[in-house]
Structure 1
Amino acid sequence: MDVETFCLCFFRLMQLLSTCVPFSLMASVGTGSVVVGNWSMFIWGFCFTVTLVILIVEFCHIRDHLPFSWYGFLTIYTCYATLFCLLTSILYPTTYIQFFPSGPHRDYAMISTTFSCIALVLYALELLVLWNWYQGKGGRIARYMYTTQGLLKLLETSLACVIFGFISNTNLYLHQPALVWCGAVYSICFVLSSVAILLNLGKCDNRLLLPLPTFLLGLTTLSILLYTSALVLWPLYQFVEKLGGQPQRSSDVSCGDRLTYLVCTWDQGLAVTILTVINLLIYMADLVTLAHLVFVRTENQPTVS
C-alpha cells in the first residue's frame, strides 16, 4: 500500500467517526422542527453513508467493474462533502447553538459542531491528496471539479441544496402560486447545473448538436433568467404586505417562540432571498467564464480561405 492510499484510508476512517458522532448525538436529543438542525443531520448522515460505501468498494476492489469513472466520482463527492461540511460548521452553530440554554443539549450541540469541523478538515485533506494523486494522470474527469467552471457548478448546486433545506418548510411558499414557481425554479436550475456536470464528466462533446461550451452557455443563460424571476418574485410575495407577505419580523408569530422555532419562517424567507442573490451572482460569473471560453475559442480558430 503506497503513501497516498494509506492516507486516504486513514482519512475515510476518521471521516466515518467525525460524521457518525454528531449525527448520533443529535439523533439522541432530536432537532424538533428546526430546518437547520434537520439539514445538518442529513448532511452528516449522508457523508457517513457515502464514505462507508466508498470504503467497501475500495476494500472489495469493485471500482473496476463500475459503469462510471470511480476516480471522477471520488473527486466530485469529496468536493461536495468539503463544502457541505463547511456550510454545516457555519450554519449549525450560528443559527442553532446560540439559542440553547446551558445544559446537556447545548453541550451535545457544541460537540457536534466540533466533530463537524474535524470532518471538514479531513475532507479538505482528502481533496488535496486526490489532487496531488490525479494531476499527473492527465484525465479530464479527475480534474474537472478543480477548474473554474467545475468549482462554479459545485457552488451553484451546493447553494441550491441549502435552499432546499430552507424551503422544505412548505409553509414558506405553498400559499402563493408565485412562490411555488420560485421553488420550481430552484429545482430546475439545480437539475440544469447537474446536467452540465454530467456532460463534462461524461465526455459528451461529440454527442451534442452544438459544441459543449456553447450548449452549457445556453443552459447557464436559462438558469440566470429563471433565477432573476425568483429574485423578483420571492421577496415580493414574502415581504410585501399587499401581496400577502410579512414586511416585519415581529409580525411573524413563530419568531417569538425560540424554543420551538430557532429559525422562524420569516428568517427562513430572508435566508432564501440572500442565497438566491448569491447564487445568481455565481451563475453570472459562470456565464462570463463560459462566454469567454466560447468566443475566445471561436476567434482563435483559423479561418479557411
Structure 2
Amino acid sequence: TGSTIMDSHGGPYLNIRALCSPLGAARLCQLAMGCAVIAMVTHNAGFSGSHGVFCMAAWCFCFAMTVVVFFLDATRLYSCLPISWDNLTVTCAAFATLMYVTASVVYPLFFVQSECPYAGCAVRNFRIAVTVCSILGTLAYGAEVALCRARPGQAVVGYMATVSGLLKVVQGFVACIIFGALANGSEYSRYAATIFCVVVYAFCFALTAVVVVMTVCGRTKAVRCLPFDRFVVVCTLLEVLLYLSASVVWPVFCFDTKYGSPWRPSSCPQGRCPWDSKLVVAVFSFVNFGLYVADLIYSQRIRFGSSHNPRV
C-alpha cells in the first residue's frame, strides 16, 4: 500500500512545502485575499467604467494565475513543463504585485468616498473592505517576491529572482502604462519625432519581453557568441540609450511652445485631454529611463548559470 501513496522518487505525490512553508502561506494568503476581493466586489461593492473594469480584471487575472501556480506546485506537475519554474513563479508574483498596487490605488480613488453614497453606507463599507483586502493581497504577493529573491552572495541560477530580473518586470509594466496613455488621445502621430518615441517604447518593451520569455523558458545559454548575462547587458545598454533619446525628444515636441503647450489648456476635457496623456507619457518615460539605468548598474554584477530543468 505504501507504493500507492508515494511517487517514483519515494516521496508523497503532493508537495507538502506548497502548504507548510512561508512561500505556501504567502500563496494561500494571496488566494484568500483574491477570493475575498472578487466576492465583495461582485456582491455589493460594485464597479463601473474603465477604471472599475481594470481593477476587476487585475484581481481576477491575478487570482486565476495564483490558482494555476499553486495547483502546479502542490501536485509537482510543473516538472512536466519545459520551463524554468522558479523564474516563472517570481515573474508572476512580481507582475501580480504591480497589478495589485495599481488596483489598490485606483479603486479607492474612484469608488471610495467619505460620505455614504445614494445606495447607503453598506456599499461604502464594502468598498473600504475591498481596498483593505487588496492591500493585504499586495503584501502577500510582495512577500513571495521577497522570499524568492536572490540574496547577496547566493549562487544565482534564476535570473528573474535577481534585482535586474525584477526590474525587467517593472519596466514592462511601466511600458504598458505608457502605451495606455499613448492610446488615450495623445496625438503622437502629429510629428515624426513623437512617432520615433513610440517606436522606441515598443522596441524596448519587445526587447525586455524577449529577455523575460527566454529566461522563463530556460533558454539562458549563449546567444550567438555572447553569454546570456552579457547579452542582457548589451540589450539594457541599448534600451538606456533609446530611452534617453525618447525622454528628451518627447517633452520637447509636446510641451515646447513651438510644437505644443507647456501649460494645460483650460478648455481641455477632464479624462480625455491630450495634454494629460502627453504628461503621463513624459513622466513615465523618465521613470523607465531610471529603471533601465538601475538595471544596467545591477547587471554588471550578475553571473549566473542556465537552468532549463525546473526545481523538483
Name the TM-score class by shorter chain.
0.7 to 0.9
Determine the C-alpha separation between the residues in 2 that align with 1:164 and 1:215: 26
Post-superposition CA distance 1:227-275 (Å, at most 9, x none): 12321333234334542x34332435222xxxxx3x8553333222111
Determine the C-alpha separation between the residues in 1 that align with 2:49 and 2:114: 13
Q: What is residue 186 of structure 2 aligned with on the other side?
A: 172
SS state at 1:6 partner: coil
**Contact 1:86 / 1:120 at 8 angstroms: preserved in 2?**
yes
Determine the C-alpha separation between the residues in 1 that align with 2:251 and 2:91: 33
2:128 pairs with 1:113: no
**Contact 2:186 / 2:274 at 8 angstroms: preserved in 1?**
yes
Q: What is residue 142 of structure 2 aligned with on the other side?
A: 124
Q: What is residue 241 of structure 2 aligned with on the other side?
A: 225
* Counterpart AA for 1:116: S
Q: Paired residue for 2:49, among 29, 32, 36?
A: 32
**Contact 1:254 / 1:265 at 8 angstroms: preserved in 2?**
no
SS state at 1:123 partner: helix
* Counterpart AA for 1:278: V
Determine the C-alpha separation between the residues in 2 that align with 1:107 and 1:237: 46
Q: What is residue 214 of structure 1 aligned with on the other side?
A: 230
Instruction: Report deviation, 1:213.
Output: 3.5
Question: Structure 1 residues 23 and 271 mapped into 2: Cα distance closer, same or farther (>3 Å)?
Answer: farther
Q: Paired residue for 2:34, among 19, 22, 25?
A: 19
Instruction: Report deviation, 1:47.
Output: 0.6
Question: Structure 1 residues 179 and 102 mapped into 2: Cα distance closer, same or farther (>3 Å)?
Answer: farther
Question: Structure 1 residues 3 and 64 mapped into 2: Cα distance closer, same or farther (>3 Å)?
Answer: closer
**Contact 1:18 / 1:116 at 8 angstroms: preserved in 2?**
yes
* Counterpart AA for 2:207: L
How many residues are paired up? 280
Q: What is residue 271 of structure 1 aligned with on the other side?
A: 280
Q: Paired residue for 1:285, among 288, 294, 299?
A: 294
- Structure with higher helix content: 1
Question: Structure 1 residues 279 and 129 mapped into 2: Cα distance closer, same or farther (>3 Å)?
Answer: closer
Q: TM-score, normalised by structure 1?
A: 0.74
Please say which of residues 114-123 and 49-58 is displaced more in the overlay.
49-58
**Contact 1:173 / 1:180 at 8 angstroms: preserved in 2?**
no
**Contact 2:16 / 2:74 at 8 angstroms: preserved in 1?**
no
SS state at 2:225 partner: coil
Instruction: Report deviation, 1:65.
Output: 1.0
**Contact 2:200 / 2:243 at 8 angstroms: preserved in 1?**
yes
**Contact 1:12 / 1:51 at 8 angstroms: preserved in 2?**
yes
Q: TM-score, normalised by structure 2?
A: 0.72
Question: Structure 1 residues 22 and 179 mapped into 2: Cα distance closer, same or farther (>3 Å)?
Answer: farther
Instruction: Report deviation, 1:223.
Output: 1.1
Q: What is residue 100 of structure 2 aligned with on the other side?
A: 85
Determine the C-alpha separation between the residues in 1 that align with 2:236 and 2:20: 40
**Contact 2:112 / 2:127 at 8 angstroms: preserved in 1?**
no
Determine the C-alpha separation between the residues in 2 that align with 1:193 and 1:286: 11
**Contact 2:197 / 2:246 at 8 angstroms: preserved in 1?**
yes
Determine the C-alpha separation between the residues in 1 that align with 2:250 and 2:169: 24
Gaps of 5+ in 2: 1-14, 304-312
